[in-house]
Amino acid sequence: MASYKAPTRDMDFVLNEIINVGSLTEIEKFADATADIVAGVLDEAAKQIDNTIGVLNESGDAEGAQLNNGEVTVPTGFKEAYKAYAESGWIGLDKDVEFDGQGLPYALATAVTDMLSGANAAFSLYPGLSNGAYEALRAHGSQEQKEKYMSHLSQGDWSGTMCLTEPGAGSDLGQVRTKAEPQDDGSYLIEGNKIFITAGEHDMTDNILHLVLARTPGAPEGIRGISMFIAPKFLINEDGSLGERNAVECASIEEKMGIHGSCTCVLNFNGAKAHLVGELNKGIQNMFVMMNSARLMVGLQGLGVAERATQNAITYAKERKQGRPLTRKAESSFDSDTIIVHPDVRRMLLNMKALTEGCRMMAYDTAKHVDLSEHHPDEAVRASSKARVDLMTPVCKAFTTDAGVEVTSMGIQVYGGHGFITENGMEQNMRDSKIFCLYEGTNGIQAMDLIGRKLSMANGQLPRDFFAEVKAELASASDEVAFIAEPLSVALADLEEVTNWLVESKAANPNDSAASAVDYLQAFGLVSLGYYWLRAAKVSAAKDGVFYQGKLATARFFATKLLPKVHGLVPVILAGGDCVMEPAEELIV
């Protein structure tokens, strides 16, 4: 059976020694986010998550969510664990104090989400979607809506969903056909079907708030005619108490490859009463607040499951005896040794560590920029941090979740045949991890967003600013970290070259850039991790102890074995799209 223990030492390292989360206390809103508070949050969250939620991971996968007569019950233990998690304040950790949150930084809440995802990815989806609903209402809800709903979302006694996808409208939301008919009292009645709705129905909270994309009569075609509405599972009386059940029905639960403990629903809206959120026909813009929040969350899910796989693979490699070291192969009397002595096993373990720990640095730093973009008193800092978040969101989502699949696959490989056996718990990691590459916009869509929007925003300033930051870090690198600074400098030059080519080719032949988008995002992600591993190497080179020596060893592995992959991606990117688009459809059989 696989296990999980929150990696609080590594989280502390990233929060305090890499991104300097303590600097956020200079912002009035985060004045209470002291070092003691940060340490306390990591310690207490780890205890609760490891002991009450992590232990339900495999049983939740085996049992799954169940649908009976339109009612969904979650796996045994989930309801009680969720109640304890919510009552302990973890859902409201970074929510506004005025809406019963604790007002702590999003960067700190990111670490808790990382833990939760590693302990039990399916469970993490229930509070995760509520976070997105909270952010959407915070940005676009009326004051009345904020006061009506947001405290409940902070406290976790109500949960939220995002209802976008329909049978004929996946990523192309311009095809949404769900209707919203206006009523004399200012409300709307929603008619339509939504699919793939995470946590669309369950028995863990008193109410569920569905944020729904729909069209009003006479709305423009395409995405310009979509509006956002809020439709609660139970209608809410004037005094705030819950009234009758709304006309929202769970028609079925999807049978999925993984995350069985999360109920993924087909919802029928049969004249469900709802209210407009924000302006008419601005639903896509409003929903992007929720989607961007969800994309960062999904990246953390990939990170968490990768951490789980890495921990178990390392433990297994240090215990499993098989074969002899190549350097002592001739010693006939030499007993079998643990498999961690074998070069290929070492390669996999260091690969897993380099990707997982590198993605953690990237994710937490992006989260800190979210805090700065929303709360720093200097408008220029807010703007530059917002640009950084815009640039890195598709990278954090796509690169980290791709890494999650790669790492969980290597975890199985370390176990050999035992990794393929259910009782050892490693195959669940891989089954769970694949969905992270698919929902909230597939990773191909994230790559298209990166090259199609983010490289061109503000006349290309977003990548230029990031490249300048990497160069500044390189300029202050000492000889002690030349082992990563030198290859990173070369990889950065390659990335700048292909970035310029992509921007130019997009105008001349969009298929060239589109065919290279995924490869470009991989190159961008590798250089980004190189930047963070350089920062980690600088810190670790000045410290003593096994932990820091381990960081230096992993940084050296990344610089030597993973970062050079950028050079192989360059000709792939520059090859454009001819070999992809020229073959006639009938040749692809």
pLDDT tops 80 at residue 132: yes
Q: What is the pLDDT of residue 172?
A: 75
Rounded distance, CA 117 to CA 137, Å?
A: 24
Sorting pLDDT into bands at 50, 70 and 90, what band is 317? Answer: very high
CA distances from 80 to 18, 63, 123, 159, 352 (A): 36, 16, 12, 15, 33
What pLDDT, on a 0 to 100 scale, did the predictor assign at position 332?
60
**Which residues on adjacent β-strands are paired with residue 321?**
338
What's the mean pLDDT in 424-444? Answer: 96
pLDDT, averaged across the chain: 95
pLDDT at res. 174: 76
Nearest to 247 by CA among 274, 216, 221, 276: 274
Catalytic status, residue 440:
yes
Q: In degrees rounded to 5, what are phi and psi of residue 505?
A: -70, -25
Catalytic residue among 26, 255, 440, 496: 440
pLDDT band at 506 (very low <50, low <70, confident <90, very high): confident
Q: What is the pLDDT of residues 47-75, one digit of tens each?
A: 999 999 999 999 999 999 999 988 999 99
Q: How confident is the model at residue 323 (pLDDT cuts 50, 70, 90)?
A: confident
Residue-level pLDDT at 507 = 84
Give yes or no for residue 329 having a pLDDT over 80: no
Contact 130, 91 (CB under 8 A): yes
> Over the range 93-112, which residues count as b (16 or more CB within 10 Å of their CB) and which as e?
bbbbeebebbbbbbbbbbbb
Q: How far is CA 225 from CA 220, 291, 330, 349, in A?
A: 4, 18, 74, 50
The reported pLDDT for the residue numbered 333 is: 58
Tell me: the pLDDT tens digits for 176-235? 899 999 999 999 999 999 999 999 999 999 999 999 999 999 999 999 999 999 999 999
Can you tell me the distance from the alpha carbon of 117 to that of 49, in angstroms, rounded to the nearest whole number? 10
- Residues 265/269/270/273 CA torsion (nearest 10 deg): 140
